Amino acid sequence: MHVNQFEELVDPYVLERGAYYFEQGNVIGVLQLELREFSGQVTGMEDYTVLLRFDASGELLVHHCTCPYRNSPVCKHKAAVLYYIRHHKLLEQPPSEDEVYHSIKSELKGYSAKELRQLLLDRIKMDRAFKEAIAWELGLIG
């Protein structure tokens, strides 16, 4: 799915809802912390976060949303953020500096797999939404 052609592959109803969200300003912020990787905040009935990662050609490699919609691979939040990224030409801009994010990334390089697993499990015990996100990521819940 390419950033310039995603319309062809997304369910028309979802696309229409996503376009409406984008036009109404429901995409309240998009951050690029890594090259061609974006985190978008979308508001509506509830707030959701979208993660999109592209390759150098603009092909979408990874797409996640925290919403429960699973009827098609792309939800209206992802579609809205895709419209936003394309409209603002964000793929052509350098990543933003986020000191905390980059400090965490750098710190984690020194962690072993066992330490990382423990960190993740401790967080899972404390944060129900995070637990469900990880379960979904692992394909344990639909």
Asked if 102 and 35 count as a contact pair (C-beta separation under 8 A), the reply is: no
Q: Does 17 bind Zn ion (CB under 5 A)?
A: no
Q: Please identify, using beta-carbon distances, which residue of 74 and 90 lies nearer to Zn ion.
A: 74
Asked if 126 and 134 count as a contact pair (C-beta separation under 8 A), the reply is: no
How many other CB atoms are found less than 10 A from the CB of residue 124?
15
Q: Does 14 bind Zn ion (CB under 5 A)?
A: no
Q: Does 65 bind Zn ion (CB under 5 A)?
A: yes
> How many residues of this chain bind Zn ion (CB under 5 A)?
4
Q: Does 30 bind Zn ion (CB under 5 A)?
A: no
Q: Does 75 bind Zn ion (CB under 5 A)?
A: yes
Single out the residue of 77, 80, 90, 91 in contact with Zn ion (rule: CB under 5 A): 77
Single out the residue of 10, 14, 67, 74 in contact with Zn ion (rule: CB under 5 A): 67
Q: Which of 7, 50, 10 is nearest to 27 (CA)?
A: 50
